[in-house]
């Protein structure tokens, strides 16, 4: 019992960032809940319970869908469709993010290849990559293997966070350059909220900056958000990078990011994340324009 209580306090301390915590009775029930969810997540991959939803990215010059972001969902038999905020932290802390991330990559590329086979527009597909994935030595080979099974034009964007770059910047840069040589685009996600610096941008093989939704949420009334968004767009332009405004939810936000020179828009104003069949209908309607 002493060891179990210590383990519960240890896990809580790690999750909260504290150096240590005293044990409390409710920690045991929380630990049991986490362990139970983790066990169900392990079964979820084997039993094909994960699904992908796709959110469109709109080119602001044309108004057309030119890309989609693949977003993971868990179709839990007990709770139904589970939002990623409730299980992604567990996938990362348990290491399950590596096999699940590999599944996401394969399924997204498979869906894109199917859309091309249906004669739908050749949109790019963006896949989020966790720090634990990109930090593995075999990551580049894994992505290239997935690409070899689809088509010559990969149409793949990998979205990484600045946190992923802090552990092994030289090694990760080499991996990203090898992937870019194979036609993969690299997007820096949630830009402006982490360790961004001019020096970092000049050393990284990056193609796209995604402006964090917290900045877009403040548009157009918050002067700081306007200034930050304008600065990021100007910075990206100076480095020859494209920009995506995340979390666009109103016409006024859309008008301002277009006025500031942003290249792409993504958010509920255009569409919520949708299952693949709905995205196929969106792309089919676009062909009829």
Instruction: Give the pLDDT confidence of 201-226 residue by residue, as tens digits.
Output: 777 889 999 998 999 999 999 999 99
In a domain? residue 166: yes
Q: What angle do CA 78, 84, 87 make, to 5 degrees?
A: 60
- pLDDT of 1: 75
Are residues 16 and 105 located together in one domain of the fold?
A: no
In a domain? residue 43: no
Are residues 248 and 189 located together in one domain of the fold?
A: yes
C-alpha pair distances (Å), 264 with each of 14, 60, 248: 38, 5, 10
Strand ranges in the chain using DSSP code E only, listed in sequence order: 50-59, 65-76, 80-82, 124-128, 156-161, 185-191, 208-211, 242-246, 264-266, 274-275
State the Cα–Cα distance between residues 244 and 246, nearest whole angstrom.
6
- pLDDT of 98: 93
State the Cα–Cα distance between residues 72 and 27, nearest whole angstrom.
29
- pLDDT of 90: 87
Are residues 64 and 92 located together in one domain of the fold?
A: yes
DSSP 135-171: TSTTHHHHHHHHHHTS-SS--EEEEEEGGGGSS-HHH
Per-residue pLDDT tens for 7-49?
777 877 776 667 777 777 665 666 656 777 788 898 898 899 9
Cis peptide before 260 (omega within 30 of 0): no
State the Cα–Cα distance between residues 116 and 238, nearest whole angstrom.
34
CATH of the domain at 258: 3.20.20.450
| Beta bridge mates, 65 | 58
Per-residue pLDDT tens for 39-63?
889 889 889 999 999 999 999 999 9
Are residues 32 and 69 located together in one domain of the fold?
A: no
Q: Are strands 208-211 and 242-246 parallel, antiparallel or unpaired?
A: parallel
Are residues 22 and 122 located together in one domain of the fold?
A: no
State the Cα–Cα distance between residues 194 and 210, nearest whole angstrom.
12
Are residues 29 and 69 located together in one domain of the fold?
A: no
Kindly compute the dihedral angle of the four CA atoms of residues 31, 36, 37, 39, in this order, to the nearest 10 degrees: 120
Are residues 23 and 112 located together in one domain of the fold?
A: no
Are residues 115 and 20 located together in one domain of the fold?
A: no
In a domain? residue 224: yes
- pLDDT of 202: 74
In a domain? residue 78: yes
Tokens 């630990």 locate to 31
- pLDDT of 172: 85
Contact 212, 190 (CB under 8 A): yes
State the Cα–Cα distance between residues 237 and 220, nearest whole angstrom.
21
In a domain? residue 42: no
Contact 195, 166 (CB under 8 A): yes
The domain of 59 spans 48-287
pLDDT, tens digit only, all 289 positions of the chain: 777 777 777 877 776 667 777 777 665 666 656 777 788 898 898 899 999 999 999 999 999 999 999 999 999 988 899 888 889 988 988 889 999 999 999 999 999 999 999 999 999 999 999 988 988 888 999 999 888 866 556 799 999 987 777 777 788 888 999 999 989 999 998 776 665 556 677 778 899 999 989 999 999 999 999 999 999 999 899 989 999 999 999 999 999 999 999 999 999 999 999 999 999 999 999 988 7
Are residues 133 and 13 located together in one domain of the fold?
A: no
Are residues 267 and 166 located together in one domain of the fold?
A: yes
DSSP 202-268: HHS---EEEE-HHHHHTTTT-HHHHHHHHHHHHHHHHTT-EEEEE---SHHHHHHHHHTT-SEEEST
- pLDDT of 109: 94
Q: Which tokens hold the place of 76?
A: 């839990």
In a domain? residue 41: no
State the Cα–Cα distance between residues 160 and 188, nearest whole angstrom.
5
Contact 128, 189 (CB under 8 A): yes
Q: Which tokens hold the place of 227?
A: 């200034």
Count of structural domains, the chain: 2
For the chain, the residue count is 289
């Amino acid at each position: 019992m002493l060891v179990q209580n210590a383990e519960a306090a240890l896990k809580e301390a790690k999750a909260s960032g504290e150096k240590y915590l005293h044990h409390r009775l409710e920690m045991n029930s929380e630990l049991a809940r986490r362990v139970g969810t983790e066990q169900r997540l392990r079964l979820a991959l084997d039993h094909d319970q994960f699904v992908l939803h796709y959110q469109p990215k709109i080119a602001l010059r044309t108004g057309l869908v030119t890309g989609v972001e693949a977003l993971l969902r868990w179709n839990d038999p007990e709770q139904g469709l589970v939002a990623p905020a409730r299980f992604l932290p567990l996938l990362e802390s348990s290491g399950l993010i590596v096999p699940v991330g590999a599944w996401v990559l394969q399924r997204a590329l498979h869906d894109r290849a199917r859309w091309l086979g249906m004669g739908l527009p050749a949109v790019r597909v963006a896949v989020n990559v966790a720090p634990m994935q990109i930090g593995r030595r075999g990551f580049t080979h894994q992505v290239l293997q997935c690409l070899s099974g689809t088509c010559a034009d990969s149409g793949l964007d990998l979205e990484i966070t600045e946190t992923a770059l802090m552990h092994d910047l030289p090694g990760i840069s080499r991996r990203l350059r090898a992937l870019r040589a194979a036609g993969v685009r690299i997007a820096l996600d949630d830009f402006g909220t982490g360790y961004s610096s001019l020096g970092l941008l000049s050393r990284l093989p990056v193609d796209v900056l995604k402006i964090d939704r917290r900045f877009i949420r403040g548009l157009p009334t918050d002067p700081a958000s306007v200034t930050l968004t304008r600065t990021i767009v100007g910075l990206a332009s100076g480095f020859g990078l494209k920009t995506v405004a995340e979390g666009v939810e109103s016409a006024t936000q859309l008008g301002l990011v277009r006025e500031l020179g942003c290249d792409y828009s993504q958010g509920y104003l255009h569409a919520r994340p949708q299952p693949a069949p709905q995205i196929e209908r969106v792309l089919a309607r676009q062909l009829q324009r």
